[in-house]
């Protein structure tokens, strides 16, 4: 695991081959075929350019950019993956999954900086290699990391406060990619 210290206290842990390919294959097929994938509406009448699914502890709901994501109960595979990542760093009660069907699916530049969100986010990639890009909010310093089949990226420190990240579209012919972001959503008072 490589630790990359970023400007203003951001920290990124990176391991390109965290899972051996055979295990990554098994997880990819299992998650692709058995998770409840849906395409959710985005802003201005558009749809999100990817599919998502949401798993976690009972009672966890994650809201961002106008979407409401009620966690389905963890599956055995999801728990197995969660424990592998927790053995490296973090404690998680929720996982947002994104499925990029082709190079025209993407994730826009954003930070996962909701007040109820823990600062450690564990991100596992499966399937086609895409570029995970980060950009500093003020200096605009940009760095790119290949997120391939079995790559683990952990975002920590103040990364969500000072940096944004995205998965740009690509015109290259790429297959499907699944990404799992494990998070800690702190329970808030019900108003
Ligand atoms: O697909 C990825 O690697 C990034 C996903 C992401 O940033 C998110 O779900 O917030
Ligand atoms: Fe994110």
Residues 6+ apart with CB under 8 A from 46: none
> Which residue owns the Cα nearest ligand 1 atom 10?
112
Q: Tell me what pLDDT residue 181 has.
A: 98
Does a structural domain hold residue 51?
A: yes
Do β-strands 130-136 and 163-167 pair in parallel, antiparallel, or remain unpaired?
A: antiparallel
Q: Is the pLDDT of residue 190 over 70?
A: no
Does a structural domain hold residue 189?
A: no
Q: What is the CATH number of the domain that holds 133?
A: 2.60.120.590
- ipTM over 0.90 threshold: yes
Does a structural domain hold residue 171?
A: yes
Report how far apart, in Å, the C-alpha atoms of 68 and of each of 29, 40, 131, 188 are: 26, 9, 27, 15
Does a structural domain hold residue 136?
A: yes
Q: Which of 62, 94, 165, 174 to mutate to test the pocket of ligand 1 (most atoms within 8 A of CB)?
A: 165
- For residue 112, give the 3-state DSSP assignment: coil
Name the token pair of 75: 């599956």
Q: Which of 167, 168, 170, 180 to mutate to test the pocket of ligand 1 (most atoms within 8 A of CB)?
A: 167
Gap from CA of 58 to ligand 1 centroid (Å): 22
Does a structural domain hold residue 191?
A: no
pLDDT tens for each residue of 92-143: 999 999 999 999 999 999 999 999 999 999 999 999 999 999 999 999 999 9
pLDDT tens for each residue of 8-54: 999 999 999 999 999 999 999 999 999 999 999 998 889 999 999 99
Of residues 59 and 146, more confidence is placed in: 146
Residues 6+ apart with CB under 8 A from 136: 6, 7, 8, 142, 162, 163
Gap from CA of 96 to ligand 2 centroid (Å): 9
Q: Tell me what pLDDT residue 66 has.
A: 79
Q: Is the pLDDT of residue 68 over 60?
A: yes
Does a structural domain hold residue 56?
A: yes
Gap from CA of 187 to ligand 2 centroid (Å): 20
Does a structural domain hold residue 67?
A: yes
Q: Which atom of ligand 1 is nearest to the CA of 100?
A: 1
DSSP string, 33-96: HHS--BPPB-GGG-B-SSEEEEEESTT-EEEETTEEEEPEEPPHHHHHHHHHHHTTS---SEEE
Sorting pLDDT into bands at 50, 70 and 90, what band is 191? low
Q: Which atom of ligand 1 is nearest to the CA of 165?
A: 7
Instruction: Please state, as a whole number, how many other Cβ atoms lie within 10 Å of the Cβ of residue 40.
Output: 15
- Give the whole-angstrom CA distance, residue 79 versus residue 95: 10
> Which residue owns the Cα nearest ligand 1 atom 2?
179
Gap from CA of 94 to ligand 2 centroid (Å): 13
Gap from CA of 18 to ligand 2 centroid (Å): 19
The answer to whether the beta carbons of residues 85 and 13 sit under 8 Å apart is no
The answer to whether the beta carbons of residues 63 and 116 sit under 8 Å apart is no
What is the domain extent for residue 76? 2-183
> Which residue owns the Cα nearest ligand 1 atom 1?
179
* pTM, two decimal places: 0.96
Does a structural domain hold residue 190?
A: no
Residues 6+ apart with CB under 8 A from 149: 19, 21, 24, 25, 28, 125, 126, 127, 128, 129
Q: Tell me what pLDDT residue 67 has.
A: 86
Query: What is the domain count for the chain?
Result: 1
């Amino acid at each position: 695991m490589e630790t990359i210290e970023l400007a203003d206290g951001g920290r990124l842990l990176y391991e390109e081959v965290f899972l051996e390919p055979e295990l990554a294959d098994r997880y990819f097929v299992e998650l692709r075929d058995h998770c409840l994938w849906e395409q959710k509406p985005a802003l201005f009448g558009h749809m999100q350019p990817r599919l998502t699914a949401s798993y976690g502890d009972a009672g966890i709901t994650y809201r961002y950019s106008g979407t409401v994501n009620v966690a389905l109960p963890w599956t055995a595979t999801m728990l197995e993956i969660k424990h592998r990542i927790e053995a490296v760093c973090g404690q998680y009660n929720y996982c947002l999954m994104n499925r990029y069907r082709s190079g025209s699916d993407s994730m826009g530049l954003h930070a996962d900086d909701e007040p109820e969100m823990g600062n450690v986010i564990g991100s596992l990639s499966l399937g086609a290699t895409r570029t995970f890009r980060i950009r500093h909010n003020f200096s605009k310093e940009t760095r790119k990391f290949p997120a391939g089949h079995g790559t683990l990226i952990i975002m920590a420190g103040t990364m969500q406060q000072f940096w944004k990240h995205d998965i740009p579209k690509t015109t290259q012919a790429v297959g499907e990619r699944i990404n799992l972001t494990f998070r800690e959503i702190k329970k808030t008072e019900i108003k």
